[in-house]
Homo-oligomer: A and B are copies of this chain.
Amino acid sequence: MKIVIIGAVAAGAKAAAKARRISKDNEIVVYTDDTHISYSSCGLPYYIEGNFDDYRMLLVRSPEEFEAQDVKIHLQHKVIKLVPTTKQILVHNLNDNQVELVSYDKLIIATGARPFIPPIKNINLPNIFTLRKIEDGINIKEKAVLSKKVVIVGGGYIGMELLEAFVVRGLHVTLVENSNHIMPMLDPDLSELVYEQLASINRGRFEIIRGESAVEFNGDENGVSCVKLSSGQILETDMVVVATGVKPNVELAYDAGIELGVTKAIKVNSRMETNLPDIYACGDCVEENLIINDTAAWIPLGSNANKEGRCAAINASGEFDEFNGVLASAVTRCLDLTISMTGLTEKTAREQGMEPVSVTVTKYDKVGYMPDVSNITLKLIADKATGRLIGGQAVGAGDADKRINTLTTALLSRMTVEEFCKNDLTYAPPYSPTIDPLLNAAEILRSKLKN
């Protein structure tokens, strides 16, 4: 049997490796228009920051390792057409400019996502970057070494991680977020808290401008030199990174009659099957099921991509596996701040017709007499109708993510707040207060639900 995989960053590479582990006999062929495969794009901000010098640290498996296992890797080969009726794909070899028809028995689409490029004037000037691929990281780092000032457009995950990276490198950073809140995936009160906490550790190293957008870049053939904001303000800069989100690469699939979901990413079932026979999809190009209330969500993260790639490979190989969905768990770091979340926000719960009840507490993260004690703010959200926990957000120094992972497990088992209050979390002075902030918040939420 011949398994053809399109794409080879996280989901595609994982699928290839897993498919080979399942069967030594199947023919496994991978096509990618990229020059690298199997890399951790989530690690690019840390490469730019200077945590390590060699970008090859980001590579998980090399093409040579795959070839040694008889997995054929075609770099810089762009798939330009799917022909499901004849079970073939049309491949454009970017090296020699030839095209070729390739047949498959099973096809796995792992085309990923790409940066969303907003329609800002002169966005094609040199030294204006997006961050997605290895080359992007290399180019940004090379320019950062020579720069004093940088403007980041967008205050989501990538924007915040790059803010840290550039600040650590000693550049002066201006981050522009067009909505009224950075980290807009959080509820507004927690977004506001992230802003305030960053302000308190700023020490003149960066500026965050909210509620304004970049409307025009200016410069010359040497590159961008300033950014004009919607207010008319002009920011001088040596470089710009546009980090205004990503969109799924679904055109190839859609054009072939593969169904998209409500989020406009590829729709798959729990076996990662598309609506067309023998065609699977996985990774950042597919839509996920949100386990909490079985609704569609698009959560393009490396952890999900890995699990989906594995599942697609198992099923494409003729075995059986299911991927039941995601909880929308995430964590990011910005300087000393950990920002983590899982499940629904109050905002998304309301959008989905639920009546959310929430509580926000700010507490010490360990016992008050420990020398490195700091504050953690936790927001817990429950569904009033069922009393179930449906989400949480945490912001603070240190291990805010610990509380969120404890919560993901509660969301997975559809636990009520009442039940969660019985939890017996570990306790010792260096790790938490006697009553953990999480249990503290849950107790308050429990009382609120009763009234």
List chain A positions with a Cβ less than 8 A from chain B.
10, 40, 42-43, 46-47, 51-52, 57-58, 291, 301-304, 306-307, 324-333, 338, 340, 342, 367-371, 399, 401-410, 412-413, 415, 419-420, 422-431, 434-435
Contact A303 B406, beta carbon cutoff 8 Å? no
Other than A43-B429, A399-B402, A406-B409, give 18 A-B pairs with Cβ distance below 8 A: A40-B369, A42-B428, A43-B369, A51-B370, A302-B427, A303-B425, A303-B434, A307-B435, A327-B423, A329-B425, A330-B427, A342-B424, A342-B426, A405-B426, A406-B406, A408-B424, A409-B413, A409-B420
For A426, give its contact among B331, B370, B427 (CB under 8 Å).
B331
Measured between beta carbons, the chain B residues less than 8 angstroms from A412 are 415, 419-420, 422-424
Contact A434 B302, beta carbon cutoff 8 Å? yes
CA distance A42 to B422 in the complex (A): 22
Measured between beta carbons, the chain B residues less than 8 angstroms from A428 are 42, 330-333
Measured between beta carbons, the chain B residues less than 8 angstroms from A401 are 402, 426, 431
How many copies of the polypeptide does the oligomer hold? 2
CA distance A324 to B428 in the complex (A): 21
- 19 interchain pairs (CB within 8 A)? A40-B429, A42-B367, A46-B370, A52-B371, A302-B434, A329-B427, A330-B426, A332-B428, A401-B402, A401-B426, A402-B402, A402-B405, A405-B406, A408-B424, A409-B420, A409-B423, A412-B422, A413-B415, A413-B419
Contact B369 A306, beta carbon cutoff 8 Å? no
CA distance A58 to B324 in the complex (A): 47
Measured between beta carbons, the chain B residues less than 8 angstroms from A430 are 46, 333
CA distance A223 to B16 in the complex (A): 70
CA distance A91 to B422 in the complex (A): 36
CA distance A178 to B413 in the complex (A): 42
Contact A427 B303, beta carbon cutoff 8 Å? yes
With A371-B52, A410-B409 already in contact, the answer to whether A404 and B426 are too (CB < 8 A) is: yes
Measured between beta carbons, the chain B residues less than 8 angstroms from A368 are 57
CA distance A427 to B371 in the complex (A): 28
Measured between beta carbons, the chain B residues less than 8 angstroms from A406 are 405-406, 408-409
